[in-house]
Structure 1
Amino acid sequence: MTVIDADDEIAGKRNKFILALDVGTTKVKCHLVNHDGLVVHSAEESVKLLYPQPGWVEIDPKSIWNKVSNVMRAAVHGGGVRFEDIICIGMSCQRSSFITWNKETGVPYHRFITWKDMRADSINQSLNNSILVKAVKLLAWLLFLVTRSPRLLLASSLKYENVQVFGRLLWVLNNYQHVKDAARNGLVAFGTLDTWLLYKFGCEKHITDHSNVISTAMFCPHKLDWLYPILWIAGVPSSILPSVLDSAGKHFGSTHPDIFGLPVPIRASIADQPASMFGSLCCKEGSVVLTLGTGAFFNVNVGKSPPTYLEGFYPIIAWKIGDEITYAYEGNAPDLGTVIEWALHSGLCEDVHELTQTATSVPSSDGIFFIPTFHGSRMISGRLPAAASFIGITRKTSKAHMMRALLESLAFSGACLYENYAQNLKKPVGEIRVGGGVANNDFILQKLANLTGARVTRFENVERSSLGAAYLAGLAEGFWKSRSEIAELAGKEIVFYPDNEEIDADWKTFQLWKEVVRGYSPTSFD
């Protein structure tokens, strides 16, 4: 019998690393994480979004696979290590972007249809106005009045949205005859981005996890199973669906040896926002994280019981690991980082530093408001159109006023999500943890603190989705022993407290901005 000294065990782990892969909407990133929880090296590439028709937003599958494999190799080689030194991989992915492919050949039937895509808007409206959906909602409500079942209350609020996969999948089956025919013959595999990447990595099973599948609107958070009756009525064959497994564990297998020269274990696959929750240490009921990336995502940990209906929020499964399942509420505003990217690409500023410097060179936006809705929104009320706008420009308006209005609108979007949650649940939040690239902006975080009254906490490393995937993978592999050990490695925190001298002015501007947004909301949406 060989006895391994604890110090020797730790020393051995110091020569091993985890690859944390984060596949977002606009960026693919990979981080090399050591046993101290530090990012040793990073690599990233931009994702090219394709717009073949108005309202359509797609991604080429070959392109994104090349970017994934490229950044993983770059992170390893750039960190001066070998793939032999990688103990496992943890992956987080954007949700609700999906693809279908041939089970036998692996060839995709079409490009990824992303969560920003609007092509199924008429299908979703038809579903919501259908006699069947209305009957289901009414029956669920009547049964809820008798049973007080949270599951029935949730069913009574059934509503299909463009961000969900269901309507877009129906669009594919209705409009791509070759996919419909292949599905009848059992040759179609459907999957969100995580499922397809696991397939490309060489996973022998057709699988997804609970945090990704919940965003499809085809999975029951109470029964933890596909909504087979609804899918059958809609004409979605069950043969195309992946198996739903835990977010972390050994069931993901390993990468095919041909990809990196040897098999590398995959130990976690989780959706981006739940990964951000885990990476931000929001593992206790009531904890809150606001991820400021391509969009703004407000997530509240609600513990082990499936959440009921909450206006403006989606009930999601954050993660399932063995017997542990954690649920959350999520609210979102679809445009945040996209607004900053637009400002850069349009020539309004050269870089983010100039944007902030210009915005803070004036004391106010001087009556200028920006509405950040490139992809539509339900931030306040009604359905905002998929078009952003500056409101209130006069001859005195300067570039600095416009830049300040733009940054303020991003803080206001996050504040709206907090306000909606606090008003509906009557539970003010003491701390909001933030992550994502936009969280590096001190101006936005200070405004958020002023408007919410909460302390806003940012880790020194804002890549919390990547680290969340790394933490989950490391725990599953035994690289780290416990969540308390991870908490000690999470890194330095920077806290923004409400500034009493700014609160009144910020609150007044926020209320005016909301009035402008309400006035901007159209009576119809084409």
Structure 2
Amino acid sequence: MQYIAALDVGTTTVRCFVLNENCEIKGSSTQLVELLNPKPGYFEIEPEALWGKIVAVIEDAVKVAQIRPDQLSCFGISSQRSTFLTWNHLTQEYYHNFITWKDLRADFMVDEWNGSYTLKALNSFSYALYLLTRSSRFLAGSVLKMMNGQVTLRLLHEIQQNHRLKEGIKLNKARIELLDSWILYKLRSGNGKEPNVEHISDITSCTATGLFDPFTLNWSPIIKRIFGIETTLLPKFVNNVYKSLGFLHPGCFTSLDWQNTHIPITSSISDQTAAIFGNQCFSKDDVKITMGTGAFLNLITGTSCQASLKGMYPLVAWQFKKQTVYCVEGAAHDIGTIISWGKQCGLYTDPTETSTIAESVKDSDGVFFIPAFSGLGAPLNDHKAASGFIGIKPSTNRCHLVRALLESIVFRLVLLCETAEQETKRQIKVLRVDGGVSRNGFICQFLANATGKQVERPQCSESSIMGVCFAAGVNYGLWKTLSEITKFRKIDRLFEPCVEEYEVNRKLLNKWLEAVDRFRNWY
């Protein structure tokens, strides 16, 4: 029997699972990520604390699986995107903590740049080139906007404000690490024991940073020309079948059982690509929606890189050798956050109760919730929007508030679905959902009713883990092709849309959009 270890480093948890060649989970270990909030809007992770958790979950998962480390055939990694740090890797001096994708420290810079003559000139010039060439790349450039979720302005903020980082760059001692490149460095070098390992990052992590041009498949020239950021600071990007990811260095681990092991790292992919693989969205027009801390909709567009005019963005879904497969992505950043907030406010004691609570009333009694703790993404595109309830009356009770909360999540997902269809001119038939929030039956059924589409939920909610396992196993040679792993997907439930409910929910969506207008441009 062969075994695969799959590491998933997310925003809220670090997890490692050990699976056998039949994709059966034999052991797992999870630790919570401590998200630091040193100032309002700042969201950081202390790197060495995170490293300790990574090592611990790998060792613990192998113990729980009751196998020896040397029985692992291969190892795969999935990590959150657009989280980065800068450091001197030779001395392991960090210039700052990990700055996560949720961080808002550069919010004022986003406003400044989006209103700047520089960006407006770039948009106009790109549109002129689009009229001449009809190139999707220039169409994308014509609507380019800065976003907090991109690495670009958060990195520029640190370069401008962090004096140690400035000095490190001046002395050619600093380099930029995306979360995946840092994990790879630590695991391959034995936590710095062999510091000269290759500085690399997976292309599916790079593509989401805002620093990467998916049309040319290279770091964007804008980085240097407009922002003054040297691309030499960034890791080398590699494809998803890169053969030189190296091995787990035994020096990373505390247990003597790991000494003299030679376990190959055969895959490192972003969390959303892992979820795409886990949901087996391997064909053009396949769609998955991951509902975790945030919600991410990805629609596979095949070998064409699709420009978007309404706030969605083109990404590399995966790259095998010379074949690049693209997707368009739309995000709603406050899905899991809203569920946690509702518990914190006392609306319920356990998030698993919310489905039953919402179904206990026939509607929300005219109450609507606007989920905008991080603003509103595509297609509303208002990062100054506020969150809140509207329509509360004397007849409103706790159940109505909970239902309004869950309905708001679905309304955001409906907008993402419709935008993806409009932008790609494709018809979505089935929505494959995963992530913790997808276990909520009310949300899944309401999503089916509101979109008029089937919603498919897998038995295993660990889609990112399964995706890492699939990618690592294929690269190792356990399976020859992606088609061989389709047998491992098992459906928990297929939510069918109710035709009668569709029109009712369309009216509700339009009313919710009226409520959204009251909360726009608040800050």
Shorter-chain TM range is over 0.9
Q: C-alpha distance in 1, partners of 2:138/2:507?
A: 40
* Mean CA deviation greater in 264-273 or 168-177: 264-273
In structure 2, what residue type is equivalent to 1:392?
G
2:138 pairs with 1:145: no
- Pairing 1:430-449 to 2, within 5 Å after superposition: 430-449=429-448
- Change beyond 3 A, Cα 1:447–1:212: same
**2:110 matched to which residue of 1?**
124
Which 4+ residue blocks in structure 1 deviate beyond 3 angstroms? 384-387, 423-426
Whether the aligned pair in 2 keeps the contact of 1:286 and 1:301 (CA below 8 Å) is yes
Structure 2 match to 1:505: 504
Residue 377 (structure 2) aligns with: 378
Is the 1:37–1:486 contact (alpha carbons within 8 Å) kept by the matching residues of 2?
no
> 1:460 Cα shift?
0.5
1:5 match:
none
1:258 is aligned to 251
Deviation at 1:305, TM superposition (A): 1.9
Structure-to-structure mapping, 1:54-93, within 5 angstroms:
54-93=40-79
Deviations 1:405-441 (A, max 9, x none): 1111111121111122223444321111111111111
Deviations 1:356-396 (A, max 9, x none): 22222111111111112222223553515464312222222
Which deviates more from structure 2 when the two are superposed, residues 91-100 or residues 246-255? 246-255
Aligned-partner Cα distance in 2 for 1:355–1:293: 16
Following the alignment from structure 1 to structure 2, what is the Cα–Cα distance between the partners of residues 417 and 446? 17
Amino acid at match of 1:518: D
Query: Which range moved further: 500-509 or 263-272?
Result: 500-509
- Of 209-218 and 120-129, more deviation after overlay is shown by 120-129
For residues 159-198 of structure 1, the aligned pairs below 5 Å read 159-198=145-184
CA contact (8 A) 2:136 2:307 kept: yes
Tell me which amino acid in the other structure corresponds to 2:266.
R
1:227 to 220, 240, 247: 220
Which is worse superposed, 420-429 or 176-185?
420-429
Three-state SS of the structure 2 residue aligned to 1:250 is coil
The code of the aligned residue for 1:355 comes to: T
Distance 1:153 1:380 in 2: 17
Q: How does 1:281-296 map to 2 (within 5 A)?
A: 281-296=280-295
Question: Relative to 1, partners in 2 of residues 1:229 and 1:295: Cα closer, same or farther, differing over 3 Å?
Answer: closer
Q: Provide the secondary structure at the position in 1 that maps to 2:41.
A: coil
Task: Give, as a single letter, the amino acid of the residue that structure 1 aligns with 2:301.
Answer: V
CA distance in 2, matches of 1:379, 1:324: 29
Root mean square deviation of aligned Cα: 1.7
Task: Measure, in 2, the Cα distance between the counterparts of 1:243 and 1:382.
Answer: 32
Letter in 1 for 2:97: R
Q: Look up the match of 1:367.
A: 366
Pairwise CA distance, 1:232? 4.5
8 Å CA contact 1:29, 1:43 repeated in 2: yes
Deviations 1:252-271 (A, max 9, x none): 11111112423421111111
Q: Give the aligned residue type for 2:239.
A: D
Moved more, 376-385 or 392-401: 376-385
Give distance in 2, aligned partners of 1:89 and 1:399: 46
Instruction: Tell me if 1:398 matches 2:391.
Output: no
Structure 2, unpaired ranges of 5+: 190-196
Q: Paired residue for 2:472? A: 473
Aligned amino acid, residue 400 of structure 2: H
> What residue number does 2:348 align with?
349
Aligned to 1:3: none
The aligned amino acid for 1:247 is: N
Q: Please identify, of 475-484 and 123-132, the stretch whose mean Cα deviation from structure 2 is larger.
A: 123-132
TM-score normalised to structure 2 length? 0.94
Cα separation, 1, equivalents of 2:486 and 2:516: 40
1:380 and 1:416 in contact (8 A); partners too: yes
- CA offset digits 1:460-490 (Å, max 9, x no partner): 0121112111111100001122212100112
| Secondary structure of the corresponding residue to residue 119 of structure 1 | coil
Q: Is the 1:144–1:153 contact (alpha carbons within 8 Å) kept by the matching residues of 2? A: yes
* Residues in 1 aligned to 2:31 and 2:67: alpha-carbon distance in whole angstroms: 20
Give yes or no for contact 2:311–2:381 (8 Å, CA) kept in 1. no
Please show how residues 89-108 of structure 1 align to structure 2 within 5 Å: 89-108=75-94
1:111 alignment partner, one of 93, 97, 101: 97
* Aligned CA distance change for structure 1 residues 25 and 273 (closer, same or farther; 3 Å): same
Post-superposition Cα deviations, 1:301-341, rounded to whole Å, max 9, x if no partner, equal 01112222342201111111211211110001001111112
Task: Give the deviation of 1:208 after TM superposition.
Answer: 0.5
AA at the equivalent of 2:248: T
Distance (Å, rounded) in 2 between the aligned partners of 1:465 and 1:171 = 31
Matched residue, 1:199: 185
- 1:233 Cα shift? 4.0
TM-score (normalizing by structure 1): 0.93
User: Contact 2:223/2:230 (CA < 8 Å) preserved in 1?
Assistant: no
CA contact (8 A) 1:115 1:163 kept: yes
State the 1:506 CA deviation. Answer: 2.6
Q: Return the alpha-carbon distance in structure 1 between the equivalents of residues 226 and 410 of structure 2.
A: 42
Equivalent position SS for 2:93? coil
Aligned residues: 510
Q: Determine if contact 2:448/2:455 at 8 Å carries over to the other structure.
A: yes
Q: Which whole-Å CA distance do the structure 2 matches of 1:469 and 1:386 have between them?
A: 36
Residue type at the aligned position of 1:335: D
Instruction: Judge which range, 211-220 or 303-312, deviates more.
Output: 303-312
Report the Cα distance in structure 2 between the residues aligned to 1:247 and 1:151, rounded to whole angstroms.
23
Contact residue 127 and residue 160 of structure 1 kept, 8 A:
yes
Do the aligned residues in 1 keep the contact of 2:355 with 2:441 (CA within 8 Å)? Answer: no
2:298 matched to which residue of 1?
Answer: 299
Would the aligned equivalents of 2:387 and 2:519 in 1 still touch at CA under 8 Å? Answer: no
| 1:411–1:188 distance in 2 versus 1, CA, 3 Å | same
- Secondary structure of 1:282's counterpart equals coil
Distance 2:479 2:339 in 1: 37
Kindly state the Cα deviation for residue 244 of structure 1 after the two structures are TM-superposed. 0.6
CA contact (8 A) 1:250 1:266 kept: no
Aligned to 1:52: 38
TM-aligned CA deviation for residue 347 of structure 1: 2.9
2:234 corresponds to: 241
Measure, in 1, the Cα distance between the counterparts of 2:70 and 2:64: 15
**Which residue of the partner structure matches residue 209 of structure 2?**
216
Partner of 1:202, secondary structure, is helix
Q: Would the aligned equivalents of 1:381 and 1:521 in 2 still touch at CA under 8 Å?
A: no
Deviation at 1:193, TM superposition (A): 0.8
